[in-house]
Amino acid sequence: MTRAAAAALAAAVGVLAGCGGGTPPEPVATSRVELAKSYRFSPEGITVAAGTAVTWHNDDNFTHTVQVDGGETRKLAPGDTYSRHFAQRGTFDYVCTLHPGMNGQVTVR
Ligand SMILES: [Cu+2]
């Protein structure tokens, strides 16, 4: 292989490797969600095994809520935690009812 051909091949491989942008982030395997500063759940998407209790911890300077699938609304003052058991498999969306756009998702496998 000539030097020029090797350089062209390396460039082509670089282009292919760079094609990953634009895909949504994979859910993170953790049972703990921080309500990070400011107005967001971190990480937004998590995955847990069935039977796991997920804990939310409010690390923000403001009161937030956690409402899973339109159910009970739990208020979290700064520093508070809330744990909820996920027995069934599925995908559960949750929101902070006080702040539109502040939401996350739990995938139970
Ligand atoms: Cu909020």
The tens digit of pLDDT for each residue in 26-59 reads 899 999 999 999 899 999 999 999 999 999 999 9
Q: Which residues fall inside 5 Å of ion ligand 1, going by CB? A: 64, 96, 98-99, 102
Q: 48: CA distance to ligand 1 center in Å?
A: 23
Q: Which of 9-13, 20-24, 33-37, 97-101 is predicted with the least confidence, judged by mean pLDDT?
A: 9-13
Closest of 41, 37, 22, 50 to residue 93, by C-alpha: 41
- Ligand 1: distance of its center to the CA of 35 in Å? 8
Q: Give the mean pLDDT of 10-14.
A: 50
Enumerate residues 6+ apart whose C-beta is below 8 A from 37: 59, 60, 61
C-alpha 61 – ligand 1 centre gap (Å): 10
Q: What is the pLDDT of residues 46-101, one digit of tens each?
A: 999 999 999 999 999 999 999 999 999 999 999 999 999 999 999 999 999 999 99
- 46 within 8 A of 68, measured Cβ to Cβ: no
The Å distance, Cα 1 to ligand 1 centre, comes to 59
